[in-house]
Amino acid sequence: MKIFQEIIQQTDFQQEDLVRLLSAENEERILLFEKASQVKRETIGNKVYFRGLVEFSNICSKDCLYCGIRKSNTNVIRYDVANSEILEACRFAWENRFGSVVLQSGELSSPVFVNRVDHLLKEIKKLSNGELGITLSCGEQSRETYRRWFESGAHRYLLRIESSNPELYKKIHPDNEHHFYEKRLECLHLLKETGYQTGTGVMIGFPFQTLEDLADDLLFFKKMDIDMIGMGPYVEHEDTPLYVYRHLLKTRQERFDLALKMVATLRLLMPDVNIAAATALQAIDPVGREKAVKVGANIIMPNLTPCDYRKEYQLYEGKPCLDEDASLCKNCLEARIEISGSEIGYGEWGDSKHYLRKTGRS
């Protein structure tokens, strides 16, 4: 069997190598984190980019078994942030020299919704003289919709695969035509074809998931030649069907630690991609995102959702920053990032080097 010190020096990894890295404990765990930190510094430097996150609606037509804003959860008050407030949040991002914003919502595909997002994209471009980068995270859509939104100014799209194992995907989604793994995969291909910088990711530590599944998730990102990845620990939510399996879960601390190891291992596997420090990390550890930055992540998404709405966008329990306004959120993040030895890339889009290299722009 290969020794751990040899595995972390590799630049290509088999599933068994990745499982070994994800199982690292004690000194091995420290070695993994140090190596990932070194690879990050040497490949993409120590800059962290901000993406201001606006969760503009929690109305969702889907019923994912883990998600707190699923359609069947009647304990949630549904909201739609007014366009004027969304644009105000984006103006805040632009004036504070965040390179980009992320517009995220529950999944809808009605013509009214599609037109609304289209309108918002054009308005955001206008208010920022075309300077703000725009990422969308609005779920599965048709080829035409993806194209329309791209033409109106969105250039990145986040759509997590949640699990790259179709059997496991089935276990955490309702068994109906609105929740097909194949559809999700097809959407990722459509996004790439349309020209988006494409982001995906998985939840870490949900019931029935194994280390082999997680290693395969990492290999999936590589095979799909993904530009940006966001992955965070699964955090159970009591108003969801998956809650009944909570006895199968690792402790929250173990899930958190596994998420850090996923970030570090991914940095070794794909040195030049953008990796987000997921907000769910902070639901478990107050400085969780900063810890992820130390071991390989380079993107942080400060929450710019107007405060009144935040508590109704609880995908999981203990979501942080529920009552901080945008400027407080920014100040507190800034201080923490600087503590973790990184620099903030103000006013820059911070496209992944992976994407720039692929498209011949670097």
> Rounded to the nearest whole angstrom, what is the least distance from the CB of residue 8 to ligand 5AD in the complex?
28
Nearer to ligand FES by Cβ, of 64 and 301: the residue is 64
Position 67 contacts ligand 5AD (CB under 6 A): yes
- 66 contact choice in ligand 5AD, ligand FES, none (CB below 5 to 8 Å, kind-dependent): ligand 5AD
Backbone angles phi, psi at 77, to 5 degrees: -85, 120
Position 106 contacts ligand FES (CB under 6 A): yes
* Direct distance between the N- and C-terminal alpha carbons of the chain, in angstroms, rounded to an integer: 39
Nearer to ligand 5AD by Cβ, of 160 and 310: the residue is 160
Q: Interface residues for ligand 5AD in 272-301 (CB under 6 A)?
A: 280
> Which residue in the block uniquely carries the two structure tokens 């300077």?
131
Q: Which of 322, 320, 321, 302 is nearest to 311 (CA)?
A: 322
Position 201 contacts ligand FES (CB under 6 A): no
Interface pick for ligand 5AD out of 162, 213, 290, 312 (rule CB under 6 A): 162
Nearer to ligand FES by Cβ, of 141 and 274: the residue is 141
Q: Interface residues for ligand FES in 31-60 (CB under 6 A)?
A: 60
Position 187 contacts ligand FES (CB under 6 A): no
Angle at 186 between CA 185 and CA 192, to 5 degrees: 95
Binding-site size, ligand 5AD (CB under 6 A): 12
**Count of CB atoms situated within 10 Å of the CB of 50:** 27
Interface pattern 128-147 for ligand FES (x via CB under 6 A): -----------x--------
Nearer to ligand FES by Cβ, of 74 and 129: the residue is 74
Tokens, residue 270:
């794909």
Position 161 contacts ligand 5AD (CB under 6 A): no
Question: Hey, is 321 helix, strand or coil?
Answer: coil
Cα 66 → chain centroid: 16
Q: Interface residues for ligand 5AD in 134-153 (CB under 6 A)?
A: none
Question: Hey, is 324 helix, strand or coil?
Answer: coil
**Count of CB atoms situated within 10 Å of the CB of 288:** 22
Tokens, residue 268:
């070794």
Position 64 contacts ligand FES (CB under 6 A): yes
Whole-Å CA distances, 360 to 52, 169, 190, 354: 27, 35, 21, 10
Position 237 contacts ligand 5AD (CB under 6 A): yes
Tokens, residue 312:
């109704």
CA distance 95 to 110: 32
> Rounded to the nearest whole angstrom, what is the least distance from the CB of residue 340 to ligand FES in the complex?
31
- 139 contact choice in ligand 5AD, ligand FES, none (CB below 5 to 8 Å, kind-dependent): ligand FES
> Rounded to the nearest whole angstrom, what is the least distance from the CB of residue 304 to ligand FES in the complex?
20
> Which residue in the block uniquely carries the two structure tokens 């990422």?
135
Question: Hey, is 31 helix, strand or coil?
Answer: helix
Position 160 contacts ligand 5AD (CB under 6 A): yes
* Span of 26-34, 63-71, 190-198, 305-313 interacting with ligand FES by CB under 6 A: 63-71
Taking a C-beta distance cutoff of 8 angstroms, is the pair 191, 219 a contact?
Answer: no
Nearer to ligand FES by Cβ, of 62 and 116: the residue is 62
* Span of 75-83, 86-94, 113-121, 227-235 interacting with ligand 5AD by CB under 6 A: 227-235
For ligand FES, the nearest residue by Cβ is: 64
Q: Which of 270, 161, 212 is nearest to 22 (CA)?
A: 212
Angle at 104 between CA 326 and CA 293, to 5 degrees: 65
Q: Interface residues for ligand 5AD in 303-322 (CB under 6 A)?
A: 315-316
Taking a C-beta distance cutoff of 8 angstroms, is the pair 258, 22 a contact?
Answer: yes
- 228 contact choice in ligand FES, ligand 5AD, none (CB below 5 to 8 Å, kind-dependent): none
* Pairing label, strands 47-57, 299-300: parallel
Residues that bind ligand 5AD (CB under 6 A): 66-67, 160, 162, 203, 232, 234-235, 237, 280, 315-316
Residues that bind ligand FES (CB under 6 A): 60, 62-64, 67, 69-70, 106-107, 139
